[in-house]
Structure 1
Amino acid sequence: MQVVIGRIGRAHGIRGELNVDIRTDEPERRFAPGSSVVCGDRTLTIARARHHSGRLVVSFEEILDRTAAEALHGRIIEAEVDPLDLPEDPDEFYDHQLVGLEARADDEVVGTVTGIVHGPYQDTLAIDIDGREVFIPFVTEIVPVVDVTGGFVTINQVAGLLDPAEAENAASDLMGD
């Protein structure tokens, strides 16, 4: 099973190094020299990883120059993990642990988590609500509870978040219509 561990940013220098936005709480483990990662349809081997100006700079054995590095800009990096393997941090979750969980609001089941969208700044839960796909920012203020063993996530009600009609009504109320 593959889990997202990073997103490739800009090339760093002329020797194929890349800035990587970390998407794992275990960067030392996932970006250790000799580790294999998946980037699109390629398997890459970590040659070196170091921190520079607050960012992780990674070089891969297969990427030898800036041109090859630039071709990877924006791509997601994934690592192969055992499905039974759990992250060390109790507030970290693998995608496969979240897919299928009930989504609850006000102690009522409103839908099911169908996926996770990994954006450049935050992750988003994709939730099926009565056949409609709704995207919920995966931040503590909106999703305060993730109970993998209990089989659910709790979503704080925000006007219009779960029901677009509510958003239109809230906007009308604010505008005095």
Structure 2
Amino acid sequence: MQLVVGRIGRPHGVRGDVTVEVRTDDPELRFAVGATIATDPADRGPLVIESRRWHKGALLITFAGIKARDAAEDLRGTMLVIDSAEVTPSDDPDEFHDHQLIGLTVVTASDEAVGEVTDVLHHGQDLLVVRRSGQDDALIPFVRALVPEVDLEGGRLVVDPPEGLL
């Protein structure tokens, strides 16, 4: 599975630098000089990071072969992606990456099928988006009281929802 770690924004200057909207918690690792990074759409890459610097809170990157503003403009909107296999698993048994949760089957504590996790939203409170057959999606707060078990190997997630949540 591909994970987005950045999105190329507008060009900066006339020499091919671009702004990058960072979508990773480790930009120093993901955007290291000399690193090759895949793109979405794939035909715009892979791109090799020639240089990078922070400027007024924005990450500026120069990619090898992109030497003019017009070439940089052509990359605008391109997603920078990595394979989920490149993400180091957490040592904390209660910490999960979004890509680990997406696709898990959701069942209640009494083993009733609920649906499948299709997304994880981060809006102050982490919310699991659960697609339910023939019904609207459910939003379930990702807290231990409501999600007592996450079984990655078994491909399932157990929820204990209060009355009316589902």
Q: Shorter-chain-normalised TM-score: which range?
A: 0.5 to 0.7
Corresponding position of 1:166: none
Corresponding position of 2:57: 54
CA distance in 2, matches of 1:143, 1:115: 12
Which whole-Å deviations, capped at 9, do the CAs of 1:91-136 have from their partners, x for residues lacking one? 56152x122224578997532023579xxxxx99664210567486
CA distance in 1, matches of 2:62, 2:3: 20
Name the aligned partner's letter for residue 34 of structure 1: G
RMSD: 3.8
Structure 1's unaligned 5+ residue stretches are 118-122, 137-141, 163-177
**Alignment CA distance shift 1:67-1:129 (3 Å):** same
TM-score by length of 2: 0.66
TM-score by length of 1: 0.63
Corresponding position of 1:9: 9
Structure 2's unaligned 5+ residue stretches are none
Aligned partner of residue 77 in structure 2, secondary structure: coil
Aligned partner of residue 20 in structure 1, secondary structure: strand
CA distance in 1, matches of 2:151, 2:134: 25
1:46 Cα shift?
0.8
CA distance in 1, matches of 2:6, 2:160: 26
CA distance in 1, matches of 2:118, 2:79: 19
Corresponding position of 2:73: 70
Identity of aligned residues (%): 38
Name the aligned partner's letter for residue 35 of structure 1: A
CA distance in 1, matches of 2:91, 2:50: 24
